[in-house]
Each structure stands twice: as structure tokens, then as C-alpha cells.
Structure 1
Amino acid sequence: MRNEFFAAFENAGWPVLWLDAAGTILRANAAAVQRLGPGVSSGTARLATFWHPENTAPPETFLLQWTRAPIPTVTLRLRARGGQTLETTAHICSWTRDQQRFFLLQLPPTPPEPDTSSLQQRLQSVLQLTRTIALDFNNALTPILGRTSLLLSRLAPDDPLRPTLLEIEQAVAHAAELAHELGSFSHTTPEPETPPGGNLNDLIQRALAIVRSKPVQADIEWTFEPERRLYTVHFQEAKLLQAIVHLLDNAAEAITHQGRVLIRTRNLVLDQPARDRNVELAAGCHVCVEITDTGCGIPVDHLPRIFEPFFTTKRAQGHRGLGLAWVYGVVSGHGGGIVIASEPGRGTSVRLYLPARPVVARTAAPSDPILRGQGTVLVVDDDDRVRRTVEAVLKQFGYDVLTAPGGAEALALLSRNENRVDVALVDLVMPRMSGRDLIERIRRLRPTLPIIPTTGYVLPELEPQDRTPCLRKPFTAQDLLWRIKQALTIGPGQG
């Protein structure tokens, strides 16, 4: 056994030292001689000779501390031959013979830290590609959504083409949200977005038009009872529209033969916090949207799980169980809450609570006179499809338009037209001169000119002193016109 031990000792592929308690190296293997030098095998060499000053304690103290609190491995540095440093994760064991303590130090080299720079570079390349795809996708969707909403503004409410255009509008809005989520995945900073204020009654009317245009087997009576003086809610139009459409679809699917779906909106003012089942409502103003159907209802044992991702009772129809979980996320993201009450065989009631401002929300379709205006808008965007769409919408509603494909052309137009330009719409991501640089140069030329930044990226933070929120692509004609109106009314930095 002794011979086998010494054979293993000598043939180990890394340095091995046999020490006594005083730190004398009694024996060193060939790998130790090769790495530390021939002096290590003299039989009288001291560990201190090879001990690196960056270790936490002198060798004798280290061995004493290890004896009191032994640990299997410890990081050490030793002076190697040629002035080099051997950094090692030392494996230490100890034994006593004839009342003397001995130590065995195995000194395999510490493996180098894996080089993650290449992986990081590849990851950054993938993230940049993802951001670019989201940007290009949103740029491509902007003319589709803009021109669809422009066509809707020209059609009568009973025009047979209206349901088709509403379907297109919803599909584009859904695609835009997918692109936005893709961009969010690749963006490391939170999105500093404040959604614009609006009238939920208008959104519900659009959702109803979409749902009622779909073929259904049942005979459904749709009733909408809106609060006529509904408070203003700040919401992300595409997301909340999809959420309400999903809830209306659920209500319709719950009715097998004949039934009714009732939608109500109302203002709610609380002097103190209140509770509706699982939702805590803060004191203040809220808008409640209630959707009630006379369908089959939800089984009692399913109610506690309806907001769980991937839970569904309609797996056979291809449902993935993400719908209500997604709706819950959208409503929560708006600072609101959702309550579902149901009784099997009698129907379901869904209540959405959203924080509101006690200001009556203005109802305005894109064709309303209030969105018409006058003045000259400078539109700067490197995508000619976006420029043409924005120009068509603005001209339709009374504005003069100057367009530029880049920063240099925009500055030239601005210098030639002196004070004729009343507001500028500037894309933030452009080649050669970025939108940020262009905005800075415009500010120097025209400090009081209102500027609306727009982008297809996940919304980047503007400079801290610039309080103007971005207009996110793709946008509807209504979104664009409202922002132009706000900028002209309120002024620079406030639009």
C-alpha cells in the first residue's frame, strides 16, 4: 500500500507537496519540481520560500488555521520557477503519525475563467437584430394602420366595408403589440411611456364592431349602455382593445343558442379604499367596465384558476389558455383590476376597474371637426411609406405638410421656411443624423418649436430635460392628429 501511495504521489499530473506542521517540504513530486523548481525537492525547503505575498496569511499561520477549521479546497498562490505565479485551488488533507502532524497539498492549476466575450458579442448581435426587426416591422405596419384608420374616418357607420377595415385595424394592432413585445425582450431599460388619455366608450364601440362582424352560431342580443359623461382613462389603445375584444369573444362563445351580452360603463368615485371580491380599489376616481352574458357560466371549481397561464377548458378547440391571463396582465399594467363572477347555467359578469381622472373624456372619431387643424407640420422620417401616410392623414385634416427623409434635408427646409413650420414630427432612428441629434439642432434654431419624437423601437428615454413622450409606431390617424393638436395647443416639451 505504501508503494502504491508513493507511486500515485510521484506520477500525479500536478504538483503535490508533503509538509510537516512547521511548513517544511519533506517531499515533492516531479510535477512540483518542474513547476516550482529543483529546490522544492531538497527535503529541507520551506513552504515560505514559495509562498506568494498575496495569500491571506503566512504559511505557518495558514496551516494552523486550516488544522482548526479544515476545508477540502482553498485558493492559493505560489511562486513558480522563472518568476511566474501558480494560482491553484489546493486540495489539502492532514494526518498524524507518532504525534506529528503532516499535510498533503495537491496543487492543480486553477482553470482559466471561460472567455464569455464571444458569447456576449453574439448575444448583443442577436439583441440588435431583434431590435432592428421590431423597428422595421413597426415601420411597415405604420402605413397600413394609418391608412386603414384614415379610410374608416371616411366611411359611414353602416358602410358594409367598415367591419372588414376594423378587422384589419385589429390585426395590425395585434401585430404591433407582438413587435413591441419582441422589442421589449431585447431592451434593457424600462419603457418610460405614459399612455394618452381617452374615452373607453369609443374603444368599446370599436371592440363591439369587431366582434359583431364575426360569424357566430348563436342568436345574440348585444346591448351597450355607456356612461355619457365618462371620466378620462389613460390607456394603451391596441392592448386594451384586444383585451376587451377577448372578453366579448368569451361572452359570445358562452352562449350556445340564444342569449344576451350587456356592456355597461360607469364612473366610480371612492372617498376611501374599497374592495370588490379579489380587487382592492384605492380611494379616488375609477371607470368600471362591466360585461355580463347569459351564457353557460364557469364551473365553481374552475373559477380560482381562470387567470392561470395555460389553464383552459377549451383545449379541444385549440385554445392555449393564455387569454384571461393576458387580459389580467393588460389590466394590471394599466393600474387596474379585474373581477369575474359566474354561476353555472346562468351566466358570467366581468368587471374591469381602471384608474381615471375626473375630467369628462372627449368623444372624437377621426372624422370629427375637433381633430381638424391648421398650420404647417414638418415630417422627418427615412421611411418614405411612413412619410406619405402621415402626409395624407394631415392634409386630409387641414394641415400643410413639409417632408424630409433625413436630418440634413429637414434643417435645410427649416432654414428656408423660417417661421412657417408650426410643429415637427421627428423619427428618432435614422441613418447619418439621428433623430436625437436633429432635435438638439432644431432646439438651437427654434427653441420654441413643438417637436414630437416618434419611433418604432421600444420607447427609449429622451434626454432628462425633455418631457415630450414619444409617439410609438404604428399609430392610428387619431393618435397622430391628437398629438399634433396637443403639441400646437400646449407648446414645446409638453406634447
Structure 2
Amino acid sequence: MTLAMPLTERTLILTPQGRDSQIALMILNEAGYGGTITPDFTGLCHELEAGAGLLLIATEALRDAGLEGLLLYLEQQPAWSDLPIVLLTHHGGSDRSPSSQLSELLGNVTFLERPFHPATLISLVSTALRGRRRQYEARDRLIDLSNSELRLQSILETLEQQVEERTAQLRHNEEALRQSQKMEAVGQLTGGIAHDFNNMLTGIIGSLELLRRRLARGRLEDLDSLIDLGVTSANRAAGLTHRLLAFSRRQSLDSKAVQMNDLVQSMGELLHRSLNESIQLDMRLHDQLWVAKADPNQLESALLNLVINARDAMPDGGRLVVETGNQVLDSDFTDAYSNLKPGDYVVLSVSDDGSGMPESVINRAFDPFFTTKPIGQGTGLGLSMIYGFSKQSGGHVSIDSEIDRGTTVRLYLPRFEGESLPHTPVDTEQMPQAQEGETVLIVEDDPAVRVLVSAVLSELGYGFVEASDADGAVPILDSAQRIDLLISDVGLPGINGRQLAEIGRQYRPELKVLFITGYAEHAAVRGGFLDPGMQMITKPFTFDLLTSKVREMIKN
């Protein structure tokens, strides 16, 4: 008889001899415990699979075959399980000694001598089952803990997924915002360019149309004013493109040693003329100023723009200070700017005591076409040009301003390292005539530019040979044709002008080269682009400058 109770708390009984099994089961049942009698170890192991709280085994059964199955079961118990076993021994018998040796293999073993008192058996069984219940409780807690870990892991995975999705959404929103801001900036830039260029093109096209009409009617008087109008508009357009290239840091810089004090003093008269009588100009020039490395023409333009901005900030008059100085910038300062390196810098600052700027205006001051001036009184490219010029020169520009207290703009340019050479300006006043036989090779892909360059050189007596690209120019360079100078656009289709010059010098090692360019990214810094015997002028250029350069290079 087996008392109904949980299988995990029943006693499995294996006593193959006598009536010990029946007696033990009866005692257990009377005490409220359940049990199951098994005939051998095979039956015992089969019942173990269903669950058990205790094994009650007679020691004589240990000599039977099949013990290996029980040992394997005990060895493979989960970590939480330690199945209790009660071994029934004979009083004063010889079976206890080997049983004690087997107890090391069986694990949680207790010995009970026969004949046993029912109370003793029940005490052992109840103690063993309490321990067995704690084992099952530990198992349940482990299962709960494992389930909790799984739930926590699931929650963490869900959170990670939500974080990834949220991060992806934020990145998408950030990219969309950046793209929107980029398109707004492009729209502002193109709108400003279109507005200014339309005005300039109107002046150019209109003056040319009036010239054509008057020439067609034979009216030759008062043509100079129309020509001046067209040239002025064209020069304004050229200035606009130069400022755009300066802002984008793609202009061709002719960086060299610059004595900034001399440059500022040479512009003194021009600066005074740019101001009205109510503004006092004060120049504070450092007497031990280092030599700066910069493009002097761009530096002059930057200074003039800063002075004009300061003038416009003081409509009721005030004091304008132009100051030079030396400054050493350490890594604490330069680390905030990607292109700036620690070292020595020459500083040009322009200060006014005018209206000042709020923080919102300072943050946009270097944006192209951004201006606080009324429509028609400013292109909004002055400060953006200075910003691009400073960055391309390896320098920096900063603005400090307070409302009603004034503004200071500081332009930092790197100190020139090396020997300073005197600058000899090109004389554009003379129209140098060619010497007999002097010939120029002109390589330009734009037909209009090629025709104009050829025409002006022809008027001065130069012979010329034309090519529209490098493929047409290389055979000429490889021929016996006399070539005193190669004039080439940098941005040719296919092989560019710089590569053409290298090929040309393979045929003619002493070949002199004059580059003309409207925009050439790799020619932005001339020092790393031009070899000896090479020079460069930028489009649009005056023909006086072109012919003077041609004469200078051929002569030298």
C-alpha cells in the first residue's frame, strides 16, 4: 500500500530479503508518510525518475548487480539536489564496514540498525524529508531567480532596442535638421549671389547693348562712360567671386613674408578717406612686431573691410583703433580650433566704440550674405571673406562685442619662419612690346579667354600658338617650335595645367610657365604648387597685369 502524497516526498524502499520492506512501509503509512517498495536497483532507478524524497535500502541489496545505475543517477544530480539515503544494517553484523566505505559514493547516507524502533525510523525519515523539502525550495528559488534573470535580460534587451531605436531616431532627426540648416544656408548663399550678380550683369549687359546700338548708329561720342559702367560692374562681379572663394577657402593665396606695420601705414591715407570727419583713427603699431606670413593683397582687403564695418557701427562718430601685436597661442587655446596650431602669431585688431553686437549676431557674423545693414548697403561677404582668408592662411579670427560698448575683431596670422625677401611690385603702367620672334604657347579650354589672350599678346607683337587642352599642347612642346613661355589654365580637362607643365619641362627643362586660374583647389597655396620659373595670376585679370607678367617672365 502506498499513501497518496507528493512523489517528491515519498520513500523508495529496497529490502530484497525478509519482511523489512512491508514493516517499514507500514510504519511510514501509520505516521502519515508515503512509500513505494521496489524489487531491485533497476526498479528503484525507474521510480527515481518520477521523484523521491528518501531512499531506504538494506545493506545486503548493495551486493546486488545494478548499483551502477544508482551511482550514475546520484552523480548526475543537479547542483541543488543531495538525495538522502538510509542504509538498514544488522545489529552487530559485519555489513556496516563495507557500507561505510560505500557511503562516500552514495553521499548523504544515514545508518539504521535492525531491528529498529518505529520512532527511530520516523525520526530519521522526517529529518531527511525536511532537508529534501529545503532542497526543492532551493530549486524553486533558483528557477524563480533564473526566470527573473530571463525577464530582466528580456527587459534589458527591450531597453537596448528602445535605446537603439531612439538613438537612431535622434540621429535621423539631427541629420534632417542639419540638412535643413544646410539647405537654408545654401538658399541664403545662392539667393545672395543671384541678387548681386543680377545687378552686376545688368550693368555689364546694359552697357554693352548701348555700346552696340550707338556704334551701329555711328554715335561715337560719350562711349567712355558706358565702358566705365561695364568695367565697374564686371570688377564688382570679380570681387564677389573672390570673396566667395575666400569664404570657402579655395582662393589662390600668394603667401609670403609681410611687414604688417608697413602695410598698415601704407594704407593710412586710404583708411582716412574711408572714414568721415566724426571718427578719429588711432594706429597703435607694435615696435617689435614679428614678420607675418600672409597674402598681402588679401590682408589689405581684410583690413579695409574691418575699418569700413567699424565705421558703419559708429554713425554718430567715435574712435577707431587699428592695432598690431605679437601673441603666442598655446594648446589650451588652439585645441578648440581644428586648423590652428600652437605657436607664434601676429595679430591685427580693429576696435570701435560703436553700437556693438548681440550674441545672436556674433554667432552669425561670419555667415555668407548675412548682414545687419539695410538692403543695398552691404553684401554680407566682408566678414565671411576674412574668416575664410584667416583659416586658409593657417590663422584665426575672433569677435568680441558688447551692446553700446563697441566691437573688436582680431585677425591672427602665423609668424613667418625663414628669410624675408623684399617684395617688388609688378609695374602695370607700361605696355611692354615683344622682342622679335618671342612666342607664347596658350593652353586654355575656354574659347573666349583663349581668343582674348591671343589678341592682346598679338597686339604687342608676340607670336602665339594655341591649344584647347593638354593633348593638343604636348605635340607642340615636343616639336622644334620656339616657345618662350607657356601660359596655361590650371583646370584643363583631362591632364590639368600643373601636370602639363611637368610634361613640358621633360621636353624643355628651362620652360617658364604662367598659370591662369579662376578656381583650383590644389593651387590654393601657391608655395606648395609653384616651382621655380612658375607664376600665377587669377581670373579675372587685367590685360595690363597679364602683359607685364609675360614681359617679366620672358625677360628673366
Note whether the superposition's TM-score is higher than 0.5: no
More strand by share: 1
Query: Quick one: higher RCO (CA 8 Å, sep 6+), 1 or 2?
Result: 1
More helix by share: 2
Q: Computing the radius of gyration over CA atoms, which structure comes out larger, 1 or 2?
A: 2
Q: TM-score, normalised by structure 1?
A: 0.44
Q: TM-score, normalised by structure 2?
A: 0.40
